[in-house]
Amino acid sequence: MMIDVFSAKRQDGALTLNPARTAVVVIDMINEFCKPGGKMVLPGYEKLIPAQTALIARARRLDVPVVFVIDSHRKNMRCDREWVKRTPHGIENTWATQVIDDLAPHPDDIRVIKHRYSAFFQTDLDLVMKDMRIDQLVVFGVVTNICVRSTVHDAFFLGYDVVVPADACAATGPREQESSLYDIATHFGAVSRSGAVIAAMDGSEVVENEVPPA
């Protein structure tokens, strides 16, 4: 498919990651969305684990903050906006909202509780990042076309440089994955692979924006 003439007007540039200014933001890698027994399990989440654990391990070695964003909801709300469109899920303080053990979360990792798709919407994520003097974000997790994408949009609006490692994200289907990554790469940030992002965090490479096919 040809690139549409509107999106073809994009400006691509390489992104240099500075560990002192970078945070890794892991979206919704919780039991509810990944493990048997969860109410909205995304099939194939386990394929993301090697890339995710590699990114997190390198971040830890470089003293780059790791932020786990957790979709969590209170019981007995009269109108939870996520539940208007999605089955009730992610009840706070339960097994469902725990970060999966595969990622070996540390007690001193930053945890951000969100009640909507975006990790920035009425949370303290932006305030925490600014207090840490962070303006570059590596964002990945589930799902690409909902919570990852919403978070990337808001990060861009708030002035962050954002890179999404495609092999560390999964969408609700191949069409949604391709379309969301294309739009992110074209309008909101950079899309790359985990290996390239790791090398960039080390300071040995720059992240080239890999625009998926339209």
Assigned domain for 92 exists: yes
Q: What is the CATH number of the domain that holds 43?
A: 3.40.50.850
pLDDT greater at residue 3 or residue 143? 143
Assigned domain for 117 exists: yes
pLDDT greater at residue 10 or residue 148? 148
pLDDT digits (tens, 9 = 90+) for 65-118: 999 999 987 777 656 556 545 666 667 889 989 999 999 999 999 999 999 899
Residue-level pLDDT at 105? 97
Assigned domain for 39 exists: yes
Assigned domain for 6 exists: no
AA letter at 103: L
Distances in Å between the Cα of 179 and the Cα atoms of 107, 194, 213 are 35, 19, 9
Query: In the chain, which residue ranges form alpha helices assigned H by DSSP?
Result: 31-34, 49-61, 81-85, 125-131, 149-157, 174-183, 194-201
Q: Which residues are tagged catalytic?
A: 28, 114, 147
Residue 23, beta-bridge partner list: 137
Within 10 angstroms of residue 152's Cβ, the number of other Cβ atoms is 29
Assigned domain for 1 exists: no
Residues in the chain: 214
Assigned domain for 143 exists: yes
79-83, 115-119, 185-189, 208-212: which range is least confident on average?
A: 79-83
Domain assignment of residue 121, given as a range: 17-201
Give the chain's domain count.
Answer: 1
For residue 173 the two structure tokens come to: 């289907």
pLDDT digits (tens, 9 = 90+) for 11-49: 676 778 999 999 999 999 999 999 999 988 989 899 999
